[in-house]
Structures are given as C-alpha cells and as structure tokens.
C-alpha cells in the first residue's frame, strides 16, 4: 500500500494547514460542545437593570393605568382650574381699580369745572383794623350750582388781594336776605400794611422826669427808666385800641421795639404806650 506523503504547500498558496491554526476562542468551543446558554457580552449596567425592573412592573402598571390616568387627569384639571381662578381674580381686581380710578378722574374733572366757574365779586375792606397793618376783607362768591354746598366751595376758592395770594378764605359765612336768597361770603385777614391801619407813636416823653423824687426812673432802685408815647392814626370806634397798641412797633433812642411793654387809655389822652428801658443810674 502506497502511502502518499503530504507535501508542503507551495509558498504562494493560500491554503492553511490545520496544524498552523490558532486555538479557537471560548465561544467557538461552546458551539462545538453544543452549549446553548447565552450570556451578555458586557456587564449589565444600571440603566439596563432599570429597564428590566420596569419590564417586570409593566403588567402591574398596566392593571393600574386607568386609575393613574384618572388621577393625572384630575390633577391637570385642578391645576387648570386654579390657574383660571387666579386669572379671573387678577382681571377682577384690575377692573375694580380701573373703575375706581375712572370715577376719581371724573369727580376731579367735575370739581375743577365747578371751581373754574366760581368767581369772587364785591371785594370789600372792613372799616375795622384787626391789628397793626392788618385789615379784614370780604367778597361774595358767585357761580355756585344750585345743588352744591356753597360753603364747601367757598373754602377751596383762591383769591389775590393787594398782590397777596390766598389759597382759601380764613372763614366763610352765609347771608340770607328777605327774599330767602342765600349768599356765600369769604373773609380774609390781609396784612397789606394799609396806611389807615398803620398806627404810629408820637411825642415820646420821659414822664418820670416830672417827678423830683424818681428823677426819670420807673422807681427808685429799679434800674429801669419809664418812657411813654401817644398812639396816632387810631381809628375809633372801629379799631380795638388794645389790639392796635399791642402790635404797633416803635423806635426810640437807637432801640427797636416790636410792641410796648404796656398800654393805657384815657378819655382825654387817648391811647398811650409805655416802655421800660434799662438804666443802671436808676
């Protein structure tokens, strides 16, 4: 029997002998042994574990899905209703504020129109001076609507008297004539230094010098000298002599006095102002 001797393959041949093959990998051995068990090529990650747990819970979740959907729908409806309520409240508050602001503007415009239609007429100076350089003035308010309170409008009407601006009268009065017609008057105290209300001090004298005992002093050892003067430009019987005397300033001996220290009145001498000046010789 002739045994054929295997010849080595040619150098340029693609044939590979079994003796030169590398050992098969493990999975190839499993296939040759008929092992059918499969295993993952890479370790199970945390994400894959989560997917497996979710797949296990899928039947339970499928059973609970109707209730879950109902609960989700209820929560969605609740949120929608709450959002709608907030929107409605916002719109309501905005509407109320807009209405109040509109009413305020309307009332303000109405009041301004009434004020613009009011006028002061018959401005009259009082015969009586209230104090030095001060007189009371009054005027009649016209243009008040029949359904409005004239006194209230009188208290807010401006006027200018002798270049002095007044935002409102000092007080308001109502005068009703015989026919029943009421008239509203405003009254102002005007410090305009009118000549008729500017009383002056005249004929300063050291009355104490007439006495040989005091030698011009108010009293012996008092260290004060008594000076007197007559008040001129007084308008009796309207002017109050006490008010005029106590507010009339004076200049004497290089000194300025806002008012006398005291005031006297006599039937023949009229109004007299008295000052006490410091005098160490007394």
How far is it, in rounded angstroms, from Cα 255 to Cα 258? 10
**Tell me, what DSSP letter sits at residue 217?**
B
How far is it, in rounded angstroms, from Cα 259 to Cα 274? 9
> Tens of pLDDT along 85-141?
888 888 888 889 888 888 888 778 888 888 888 999 999 999 999 999 999 999 999
- Beta carbons of 144 and 150 less than 8 angstroms apart: yes
| Of 19-28, 71-80, 267-276, the least confident | 19-28
Measure the CA dihedral 235/236/239/244, to 10°: 70
How far is it, in rounded angstroms, from Cα 234 to Cα 259? 16
Residue 128 CB contacts under 8 Å (≥ 6 apart), including other chains: 135, 136, 235, 238, 239, 240
Query: Given this model, what pLDDT does residue 263 score?
Result: 96
How far is it, in rounded angstroms, from Cα 260 to Cα 204? 12
From residue 261, alpha-carbon distances to 231, 248, 274, 276 in Å are 14, 11, 6, 7
Given a cut of 60, whether residue 250 has pLDDT beyond it is yes
How far is it, in rounded angstroms, from Cα 236 to Cα 268? 14
Cβ neighbours, 10 Å, residue 275: 22
pLDDT band at 245 (very low <50, low <70, confident <90, very high): very high
End-to-end CA distance of the chain: 181
How far is it, in rounded angstroms, from Cα 161 to Cα 192? 9
Q: Which of 30-34, 47-51, 129-133 has the highest mean pLDDT?
A: 129-133
pLDDT band at 38 (very low <50, low <70, confident <90, very high): low
Q: What is the pTM of this model?
A: 0.57
pLDDT band at 35 (very low <50, low <70, confident <90, very high): low
């Amino acid at each position: 029997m002739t045994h054929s001797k295997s010849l080595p393959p040619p150098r340029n041949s693609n044939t590979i002998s079994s003796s030169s093959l590398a050992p098969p990998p493990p999975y190839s051995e499993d296939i040759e042994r008929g092992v059918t068990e499969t295993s993952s090529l890479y370790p199970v990650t945390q994400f894959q574990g989560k997917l497996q747990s979710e797949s296990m819970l899928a039947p339970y979740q499928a059973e609970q899905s109707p209730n879950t959907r109902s609960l989700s729908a209820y929560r969605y409806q609740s949120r929608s209703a709450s959002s709608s309520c907030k929107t409605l409240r916002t719109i309501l508050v905005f509407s109320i504020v807009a209405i109040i602001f509109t009413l305020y503007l309307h009332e303000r415009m109405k009041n301004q129109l009434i004020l613009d239609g009011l006028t002061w007429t018959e401005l009259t100076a009082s015969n009586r001076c209230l104090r030095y350089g001060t007189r009371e003035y009054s005027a009649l308010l016209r243009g008040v609507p029949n359904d409005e309170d004239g006194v209230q409008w009188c208290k807010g009407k401006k006027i200018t008297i002798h270049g002095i601006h007044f935002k409102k009268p000092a007080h308001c009065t109502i005068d009703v004539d015989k026919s029943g017609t009421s008239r509203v008057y405003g009254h102002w105290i005007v410090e305009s230094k009118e000549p008729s209300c500017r009383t002056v001090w005249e004929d300063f004298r050291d009355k104490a010098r007439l006495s040989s005992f005091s030698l011009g002093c108010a009293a012996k050892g008092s260290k004060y000298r008594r000076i007197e003067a007559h008040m001129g430009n007084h308008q009796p019987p309207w002017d109050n002599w006490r008010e005029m005397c106590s507010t009339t300033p004076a200049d004497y001996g290089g000194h300025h006095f806002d008012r006398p220290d005291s005031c006297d009145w006599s039937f023949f001498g009229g109004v007299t102002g008295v000052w006490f000046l410091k005098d160490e010789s007394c």
